[in-house]
A and B are shown apart, each in its own frame.
Chain A
Amino acid sequence: MFDLKDDAGRLTCAFPQRMDTLACQQYERDVHPKVESAGKPVTFDLNGVGYVASSFLRICLRTAQSVGAENLFISNCAPEVRKVFKIAGLDKQLNIK
C-alpha cells in the first residue's frame, strides 16, 4: 500500500490513490514510526493520489514537526489535492512542489 524507499539519505514515500481515514491509520501504524525514527529528509510523492482525508493533513503536519518543515517535501500533487492544501492554508507551512 505504501512504498517507502531510502535513497542516499533521503526517504521517499509513495501513497495509494485514496488517502482516506483508514489508509491514514495504516500509514500511521506501519510507516510513520519508520519515518520519524530515521531522522532523514522525506519526500511524500503524491503521484496518483486523488483524495486526501483530514488525517493526511495531520500526517503532513506531524511529519513536518518531527523531521523539520524544511526536511519534508510534498511532490507530484494532483491539482485537486493541491487545492486542498491551499484551502487549508498549509501551502505556506509545507514545501509543496
Chain B
Amino acid sequence: MIEAPSVNVDAIMRKAAASAAVFSELDQAHVDRIVRAVFKAGFAARVRLAKMAAEETGLGRWQDKVVKNVVGSLLVYEDIKDLKTVGVVSDDPESGIVEIAQPLGPILAVIPVTNPTSTVLFKILIALKTRNPIIIKPHRNAAKSSIEAAKICYDAALQEDAPDDCVQWVADLPREETQKLMAHKDLALVLATGGGGVVKAAYSSGTPALGVGAGNVPVFIEASADPVFAVEAVLSSKLFDNGTICCSEQALVVDRSLAEAVKRELVVRKARFLSDEEIRRLEAVVIDPKTKVMSVDVIGKSAAAVAKMAGISVNEDASVLIAPLKGVGERYPISGEVLCPLLAYYEVDSFEQGLNLCIDLNYFGGIGHTASLYSNDEEKILRFSKLMNAGRILVNTPSAQGGVGHLFNTLHPSLTLGCGSGGKNITTDNITARHLLNIQRIARRRVNAKFAALDPQLFFDEKVDAEQVERLYHKNT
C-alpha cells in the first residue's frame, strides 16, 4: 500500500499553501499542459484503476468503473480543456466589466467509496485547471485505489513542471484530524462527495464547501412513452456499476396503460418481481434498522447477492429486484434510496396520480437531486419538471449516465452533483472547474445616467412615492 506523504495537518497545509503560491504564477498555457498530461495519465490507467477499485471495495463492476474513469478523465478534460481559467477571462467594453480568474487556494477533496478513482481523476483535473492545489481524502475502504489514482495524476503533473505538492493525499486520518483539516485557516474549499455525515462535517467546518445531497430518483414512465425503450434505458442505468451512482433510478412509476408492456420487458431482461413476503425480508437487509437508511452492506452488490443476503431465491443471472409497493415513506422503507439493483415499483391510473407519487418519492429523502421522466409529450415534461424539486430532470435518458453529464446530454460531466437548497447545497449545478475560481471584476466608470438625472432632494421629500420616482427615473431626457 502506498503511504500517505504525511498525516500532520499543519505540514500538509504548509505544503499546500506553498504550492498555491507557485501555482498563482503559472500562465494558461502552462496550466493546460499540466492538465493534458494528467488527463493522459489518468486515461491510460483507467482499466487498472477500475479493477483495483472493484477489488478493494467489493462494490460494483470493474467494467463499469472503467467507463466512470473515462468520464472522469476524457469527458471532463474535453469539457474544460478550452476553458479560460487564468487571467482575463472576459472583457465587455460596453458594460466596462473585465473578469479575471483567480484560484481559490488549497482544496480538500473528499472521495466516496462508490466512485473512488473516477472522482479522484475528475477532482484533480478541475483543481489543477484552476490552479488550485488539491488534497485527496479517500474513503477508508477505498484508500489504496484512490491514492494510486492521485499518485498517477501527481506524477504526470510533475512531468510538466507543476508546483510541488499540487496533489497530496491523506489516508487513515482520524476524525479529529479530518475536522482540523477541514477547518484549517489556509484551506479554501472542501469539495465533499460522499455520505451525509461527511458532507455535513464539511459544511460545519467554517470553510466554504461544495457538497452533494442524498438522492431518491423517481422515474415516471407515463402514457406517451415507449415502454420497451424506457425499460431498456432504465436498466442500462440501474445496473450500471450495480446501481452505485446516486442519480440512478430508485422507483419505477408506470402508467397502468403501459404496465403489461413494461413488466413483460422487465422480465425479458431478467428482472425478478418480489412477493410481499420477500419484500419484507429484503427490507430487513437493505435498510439499516438504526439509521433507517440503506445499509452499506448492499451498496453496489449484484441483485443475486442482495437477494441471497435476504434469503430470497433468485436466478444467479437476475438483473434487478423489483419491489411492488403500496405507498411511499417510512412504512415502506424500500421507497427510499438504495444503491444496488433494486427498484420500487408502482402503477398509476393517470398522469396526475403519477405526479403525486413522484412528488412523494422526491420528497422522501431526495429533494434537490434528480428526477427522471419517459414521455413524448412536451406539456407533460414541463409540468413534471416544475413539480419536481430536482437539480436534474432527465427526459428519456438513463438517469445514472444522464446525471453525470456529457453521455446522453450536454450537462457538464461531473462526479459531484449539486442538489441545491433541497440537498443543503449552494447550487444545483454539476460541479466543474467553473466553480473553483474566484472571479475578480474590474468595474470601469460607467455613470448611471438615469440616477444622475434625478434631483437628490426627491429622496428626502417623504411625499414623493415609489411610482413618482419610478416615472422620473425612467423619463427620457
A80 partner, pick from B360, B363, B387, beta carbons under 8 A? B387
Q: Which residues of A contact B355 (CB under 8 A)?
A: 79, 82
What is the minimal beta-carbon distance from B377 to any residue of chain A, in angstroms? 15
Q: Does any Cβ of B come within 8 Å of A36's Cβ?
A: no
What is the minimal beta-carbon distance from B39 to any residue of chain A, in angstroms? 42
Docked complex Cα distance between A80 and B387 (Å): 7
Docked complex Cα distance between A77 and B360 (Å): 12
* Residues A77 and B363 in contact, CB atoms below 8 Å apart: no
Docked complex Cα distance between A62 and B290 (Å): 35
Q: Does any Cβ of B come within 8 Å of A29's Cβ?
A: no
Q: Does any Cβ of A come within 8 Å of B352's Cβ?
A: yes
Q: Does any Cβ of A come within 8 Å of B356's Cβ?
A: yes
| A-facing residues in B318-361 (Cβ within 8 Å) | 352, 355-356, 359-360
Q: How would residues 3 to 43 of chain A score, 1 for a CB under 8 Å from any chain B CB and 0 otherwise?
A: 00000000000000000000000000000000000000000
Q: Which residues of B contact A83 (CB under 8 A)?
A: 359, 387
What is the minimal beta-carbon distance from B361 to any residue of chain A, in angstroms? 11
What is the minimal beta-carbon distance from B163 to any residue of chain A, in angstroms? 47
Q: Does any Cβ of B come within 8 Å of A91's Cβ?
A: yes
* Residues B363 and A91 in contact, CB atoms below 8 Å apart: yes
* Residues B363 and A79 in contact, CB atoms below 8 Å apart: no
Q: Which residue of B355, B359, B383, B387 has the most chain A CB atoms within 10 A of its CB atom?
A: B359
Q: Does any Cβ of B come within 8 Å of A78's Cβ?
A: yes
Of chain A, the residue at the smallest CB distance from B422 is A87
Q: Which residues of B contact A78 (CB under 8 A)?
A: 352
Docked complex Cα distance between A14 and B405 (Å): 46
Q: Which residues of B contact A77 (CB under 8 A)?
A: 356
Number of interface residues of B (CB under 8 A): 8
Q: Which residues of A contact B360 (CB under 8 A)?
A: 82, 86
Docked complex Cα distance between A62 and B356 (Å): 25
Docked complex Cα distance between A79 and B355 (Å): 6
Docked complex Cα distance between A29 and B74 (Å): 66
Docked complex Cα distance between A77 and B352 (Å): 9
Docked complex Cα distance between A83 and B357 (Å): 11
Docked complex Cα distance between A78 and B363 (Å): 16
What is the minimal beta-carbon distance from B222 to any residue of chain A, in angstroms? 12
| B-facing residues in A72-90 (Cβ within 8 Å) | 77-80, 82-83, 86
What is the minimal beta-carbon distance from B26 to any residue of chain A, in angstroms? 46
Docked complex Cα distance between A78 and B356 (Å): 8
What is the minimal beta-carbon distance from A78 to any residue of chain B, in angstroms? 7
Q: Which residues of B contact A79 (CB under 8 A)?
A: 352, 355-356, 359, 383, 387
Q: Which residues of A contact B352 (CB under 8 A)?
A: 78-79
* Residues A86 and B363 in contact, CB atoms below 8 Å apart: yes
Of chain B, the residue at the smallest CB distance from A81 is B356
Q: Which residues of B contact A80 (CB under 8 A)?
A: 387
Docked complex Cα distance between A34 and B363 (Å): 35
Q: How would residues 46 to 83 of chain A score, 1 for a CB under 8 Å from any chain B CB and 0 otherwise?
A: 00000000000000000000000000000001111011
Q: Which residues of A contact B359 (CB under 8 A)?
A: 79, 82-83, 86
Docked complex Cα distance between A51 and B233 (Å): 36
Q: Which residues of B contact A86 (CB under 8 A)?
A: 359-360, 363
What is the minimal beta-carbon distance from A8 to any residue of chain B, in angstroms? 26
What is the minimal beta-carbon distance from B354 to any residue of chain A, in angstroms? 9
Q: How would residues 167 to 193 of chain B score, 1 for a CB under 8 Å from any chain A CB and 0 otherwise?
A: 000000000000000000000000000
Docked complex Cα distance between A78 and B353 (Å): 9
Q: Which residues of B contact A82 (CB under 8 A)?
A: 355-356, 359-360
Q: How would residues 226 to 269 of chain B score, 1 for a CB under 8 Å from any chain A CB and 0 otherwise?
A: 00000000000000000000000000000000000000000000
What is the minimal beta-carbon distance from A63 to any residue of chain B, in angstroms? 21
Docked complex Cα distance between A86 and B387 (Å): 11
Docked complex Cα distance between A86 and B359 (Å): 8
Q: Which residues of A contact B363 (CB under 8 A)?
A: 86, 91
What is the minimal beta-carbon distance from B390 to any residue of chain A, in angstroms? 12
| A-facing residues in B387-428 (Cβ within 8 Å) | 387
Of chain A, the residue at the smallest CB distance from B386 is A80
Of chain B, the residue at the smallest CB distance from A80 is B387
Q: Which residue of A77, A86, A91 has the most chain B CB atoms within 10 A of its CB atom?
A: A86
Docked complex Cα distance between A3 and B356 (Å): 25
Docked complex Cα distance between A86 and B356 (Å): 11
Docked complex Cα distance between A80 and B360 (Å): 12
Docked complex Cα distance between A80 and B359 (Å): 10
Q: Which residues of B contact A91 (CB under 8 A)?
A: 363
Of chain B, the residue at the smallest CB distance from A79 is B355
Docked complex Cα distance between A80 and B352 (Å): 10
Task: Give residues in B with beta carbon < 8 Å to A.
Answer: 352, 355-356, 359-360, 363, 383, 387
Q: Can you name 18 A-B pairs with beta carbons within 8 Å?
A: A77-B356, A78-B352, A79-B352, A79-B355, A79-B356, A79-B359, A79-B383, A79-B387, A80-B387, A82-B355, A82-B356, A82-B359, A82-B360, A83-B359, A86-B359, A86-B360, A86-B363, A91-B363
For the A-B complex with A79-B359, A82-B360, A83-B359 known, give 8 more contacts whose Cβ atoms are closer than 8 Å: A77-B356, A78-B352, A79-B355, A79-B356, A82-B355, A86-B359, A86-B363, A91-B363
Pairs A-B, 8 closest by C-beta atoms: A79-B355, A86-B363, A79-B387, A82-B356, A79-B356, A82-B359, A83-B387, A83-B359
